[in-house]
Structure 1
Amino acid sequence: MTERAGESKGEDRPAPTLMEQMGGVSGLVYSSLPVIVFVLANSVFGLKAGIWSALGSAVAITVLRLVRKEPLQPAISGFFGVAVAAFIAYRTGSAKGFFLFGIWASLVYCGVFVLSILVRWPLAGVVWNLLNGTGTAWRSDRPSRYGYDLATLALAAVFGARFVVQRWLYEADYTGWLAFAKIAMGYPLYGLALLVVVWAVRRSDKRIKELEAAREAAEADTEAALRVKYGQYDNSTD
């Protein structure tokens, strides 16, 4: 009785929203804070202060996640990104160097997404089905694969747009606008691409379920027909 009650509670639990899947408001704040801190500290106290302030904010975010028992992987990845960006800014002696790693990383991500489409293993489908353990049945269904192609293309467009816009701002020495573009073209733009991913996932899951149901029905009909056939044959023999 208790198990059924627990199951019903699990079934009634609402599915996480798109914002929750992306880390919620806290995820948006965590990713934006080191950038904002760097720009403000750099404009007031200089480059070195900006670098150390950004690193300090990244460490503080990691400690806060640890205290609140939140997943540490995003914080560690974020700290690594800030550390690399700070190192490049230090080596180049320019505040805009803080954004150089992210600019070229966007180009690499865009290329990887496009390449995955060309080799017919769209990353949106590969990653989603790998994480959920649903196998590769979606690749055998052409509409499902095309849906994941579109989702992967949307993600590629996000990273491509990031590279083009932020590279132009970098060349024009617009450090403040670089920070704004990095934040504005981060979670908000990524959220739009995820809407396409969610559409592709739901469309594919629905089709795969329908195909599996049709296959099971066909197998059941075949089995029933064989039973009738051989049952009649045995009766006629008797």
Structure 2
Amino acid sequence: MSSTLKDHRDHRVLDQLGGPLGLMYSVVPVIVFVVADVFLPLPLTIGVSLAAGVALFVIRLARRERVVSAIGSLAGVAVAAGIVAWTGSSRDFFVLGIWGSLAGFVLTAVSVLVRRPVTGVIWNAVHGGRHAWRTDRGVLRAHDLATGAVALVFGARFVIQQWLYLEENTGGLGIAHLVLGTPLTVLAVAAVVWAIRRSAVRMTTAATPASTSDLKGTAS
């Protein structure tokens, strides 16, 4: 397999986790909502946040980004705004993300405990599911660490934001979303990238002797 094809597939793995622009798209509606909530009544705050979500949706379509991702981002803002409109509490703008973090923590933590770290499962699926990656202790350990890092990010987000939610601190929730968002995500993605590269190197190295012996057997 050529290095160009490997790089392309590795980028597809990273796309599942969100790119740099995806990080920006996730924080803009939050900033707009928190700032608007300080100066405007709740109905107008909801309207402004929805307008920001629609604007980002249009921008993403104009940039020819994936329609599914653009729709997903807009739907997230719409659902969050809908929850606020239903409950009448601005702090509920964050409730979807809080419980999403809990779900992410449970999924990633359990995957490590059952020895099927989710980053490894995704990597192998993107590469056709043909690698016996769990039999390589180095690769499995790398994905244990990468998935564990992702689990820690999800766990930290849930614990801190849930505490702020119970304290009814909407401004604090907005700050926590920013602080625990991009910086921690970058660290987690760095761990995932390291695991992906380690997997590619070790799996390629492991496959080479087998291919060579097959050729020898065919020649004889």
Please give the range of the TM-score, normalised by the shorter of the 2 chains: 0.7 to 0.9
Tell me the distance in 2 between the aligned counterparts of 1:223 and 1:136: 23
Tell me the distance in 2 between the aligned counterparts of 1:41 and 1:212: 56
Counterpart position of 1:101:
96
Tell me the distance in 1 between the aligned counterparts of 2:161 and 2:75: 20
Establish whether residue 39 from structure 1 lines up as the match of residue 27 from structure 2.
no
Q: Number of residue pairs matched?
A: 213
1:159 CA displacement: 0.4
1:153 CA displacement: 0.8
Counterpart position of 1:64:
59
Match of 2:140 among 117, 141, 145: 145
Establish whether residue 184 from structure 1 lines up as the match of residue 179 from structure 2.
yes
Q: Please state whether the residue corresponding to 2:115 is helix, strand or coil.
A: coil
Counterpart position of 1:158:
153
Q: Which has the higher contact order (CA 8 A, sep 6+)?
A: 2
Note the residue ranges of structure 1 that are not aligned, 5 or more in a row: 1-6, 228-238
Tell me the distance in 2 between the aligned counterparts of 1:50 and 1:200: 42
How far does the alpha carbon of each residue in 1:120-157 deviate from its partner, in whole angstroms, 9 at most, with x for none?
A: 22110111222233533212222211211111111111
Counterpart position of 1:78:
73
8 Å Cα contact 2:61/2:70 also seen in 1 = no
Q: What's the RMSD between the two structures over aligned residues?
A: 2.6
Compare CA radii of gyration and give the structure with the larger one.
Answer: 1
Alignment CA distance shift 1:68-1:200 (3 Å): closer
8 Å Cα contact 1:117/1:152 also seen in 2 = yes
Note the residue ranges of structure 2 that are not aligned, 5 or more in a row: none
8 Å Cα contact 1:129/1:136 also seen in 2 = yes
Amino acid at match of 2:19: G
Alignment CA distance shift 1:197-1:28 (3 Å): closer
TM-score normalized by the length of structure 2:
0.86
Counterpart position of 1:87:
82
How far does the alpha carbon of each residue in 1:184-224 deviate from its partner, in whole angstroms, 9 at most, with x for none?
A: 21222111011111111111211111111122334455667
1:81 CA displacement: 1.3
8 Å Cα contact 1:42/1:48 also seen in 2 = no
Moved more, 69-78 or 100-109: 69-78
1:41 CA displacement: 1.4
8 Å Cα contact 1:169/1:178 also seen in 2 = yes
8 Å Cα contact 1:124/1:197 also seen in 2 = yes
TM-score normalized by the length of structure 1:
0.80
1:56 CA displacement: 1.1
Alignment CA distance shift 1:145-1:112 (3 Å): same
Q: Percent identity?
A: 43
Tell me the distance in 1 between the aligned counterparts of 2:31 and 2:142: 37
Match of 2:19 among 15, 23, 39: 23
Tell me the distance in 1 between the aligned counterparts of 2:115 and 2:33: 41
8 Å Cα contact 2:42/2:90 also seen in 1 = yes
Establish whether residue 204 from structure 1 lines up as the match of residue 199 from structure 2.
yes
